[in-house]
């Protein structure tokens, strides 16, 4: 089985721009979660989508949003980028059992 894929792998944006990241889960997995990883804050939960519905949400501002499509692929959008949004954004998928969450390689976003 192919693993979780994320595109693009690297991205450079400037302040004020918006960005969309994509995640393709493992085939058959309906849950997709997004995390932000930074050296200072570590891994922080953004949100989780299951069957096209947001099921869980972390404590991030409304500039961070996401969606999930009927094929379980998910996108994450960040509007009005700030310097502090520079991070590795990780996506994880699972087959709806907590024990089987698989992470993708991440998208490294640099905001200048």
Contact 15, 29 (CB under 8 A): no
- Quote the strand ranges of 4-86, DSSP E: 5-7, 10-13, 19-24, 31-38, 42-50, 53-57, 64-68, 74-78
Q: Least distance in Å: CB of 66 to other proteins?
A: 13
Of 62 and 98, which has the nearer Cβ to other proteins? 98
Binding site for other proteins (CB under 8 A): 4, 31, 33, 35, 42-45, 48, 50, 55-56, 58, 90, 92, 94, 96, 98-106
Of 6 and 78, which has the nearer Cβ to other proteins? 6
Q: Least distance in Å: CB of 78 to other proteins?
A: 19
Of 79 and 88, which has the nearer Cβ to other proteins? 88
Q: In terms of C-beta distances under 8 Å and separation of at least 24 residues, what long-range contacts does 65-69 make, across chains too? A: 66/34, 68/32
């Amino acid at each position: 089985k192919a693993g979780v894929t994320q595109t693009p792998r690297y991205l450079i944006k400037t302040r004020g721009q918006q960005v969309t990241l994509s995640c393709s889960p493992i085939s058959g997995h309906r849950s997709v979660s997004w995390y932000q990883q930074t050296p200072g804050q570590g891994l922080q939960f953004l949100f989780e989508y299951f069957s096209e519905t947001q099921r869980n949400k972390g404590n991030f501002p409304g500039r961070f949003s996401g969606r999930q499509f009927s094929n379980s692929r998910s996108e994450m959008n960040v509007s009005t980028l700030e310097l502090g949004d520079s991070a590795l954004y990780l996506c994880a998928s699972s087959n709806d059992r907590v024990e089987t969450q698989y992470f993708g390689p991440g998208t490294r976003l640099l905001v200048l």
